Amino acid sequence: MTDVVVAVDGGGTKTDAVALSLDGRLLASSRGPGGNPQHSGVQASLASVDALVSEVAGDASVVRAGLYLSGLDLPQEVSAYSAAASARPWAAGGLDVDNDLFALLRAGTDEPDAVAVVCGTGINAVGIRADGTTARFLALGAISGDWGGGLGIGLEALWHAARDADGRGPSTALTPALEAHFGVSVPRLITQLHLRERNSEELSELPPAVFACASAGDEIAGKLVDRQAAEVVAMARSCLTRLGLLSADVPVVLGGGILQAGDERLLAGIRTGLAQVAPSARVVHVTQPPILGAALLTLAAAGAPSAALAQARAAFDPT
């Protein structure tokens, strides 16, 4: 019976799972729906993860499992998920559970001092130092000072469109852009959201429209893009400061759908802002999926040699 490690990376919209041999060969992979336990609850999330792990592992003996999921932001959330997952047969050989940011960071760099910022549906960041010290955020939305990501940008775009529609605010191209996207007037959209005829998560679809409006010269859309850039820089700066690395040559890994969309105004704002506060830091764009990072972390925890890690990285190389 083959010994394998199984790694899982779960975000807000999808969950990836892979099985690898101890020499780093990719044996199986699968994808399921989002596995964020804050949204669906621990048991529902774990049921989805369990199905994926069982699928990719098959009849093999799992010697290590690594689960890296969005929504595991607090120590008690990690502990609760670990306790629930530890009862699964595939966790008996060894289990690692943590936030998916660590998988993103590892996919982007092997360096011991590093920062990762993810901006997808929401926004979060983590910093690590060679001695094992980490810098993290509560990442619980507006109540913990967060702003941005697809949902944050979408909510703000709707706020401005609402004030344009009823005359309280200036005219903005965001208004017709939102109406075209959803196929209803802004007042009707607001009513649908209020009556729960629409899910507010649909607003996370709006960043491409906001980027397009900003590129076309809309001032309000442009300010939203600039604000998102400033938030990314603020999170990176905070991590670097708290770790004593503000003057160091450190990679800042950028991931998530918003940052990977390639909007030049957004990325230029991040580069410029980061150069002002941490001139030696380097922006690194993730080109490989975060599940690679989860796989590398799990292989390392299982004691796999460096050659196995190189083999695993090559297995995910898109070229």
Question: What is the reported pLDDT for 74?
Answer: 93
DSSP 220-278: HHHHHHHHHHHHHHHHHHHHHHHTT-TTS--EEEEESHHHHT--HHHHHHHHHHHHHH-
Question: What is the reported pLDDT for 133?
Answer: 97
- The residue ranges of the chain whose pLDDT is under 50 are none
Structural domains of the chain in order of their starting residue, each with its CATH number: 3-99+289-315 (3.30.420.40), 107-287 (3.30.420.40)
- Taking CA atoms, 157 is separated from 36, 118, 191, 203, 205, in Å, by 25, 20, 16, 9, 11
The tokens describing 6, both together, are 């199984």
Q: Determine the straight-line distance between the first and last CA of the chain, rounded to whole angstroms.
A: 31
The tokens describing 271, both together, are 């580069």
Residue 24 region by backbone torsions, left for phi larger than 0, else alpha for psi between -120 and 50, else beta? left
Between CA 125 and CA 239 the distance in angstroms is: 8
The tokens describing 116, both together, are 């990762």
Stretch (H or E) spanning 116: strand 114-119
Q: Which residue has the tokens 């910022």?
A: 117
Stretch (H or E) spanning 164: helix 149-165
Question: What is the reported pLDDT for 312?
Answer: 95
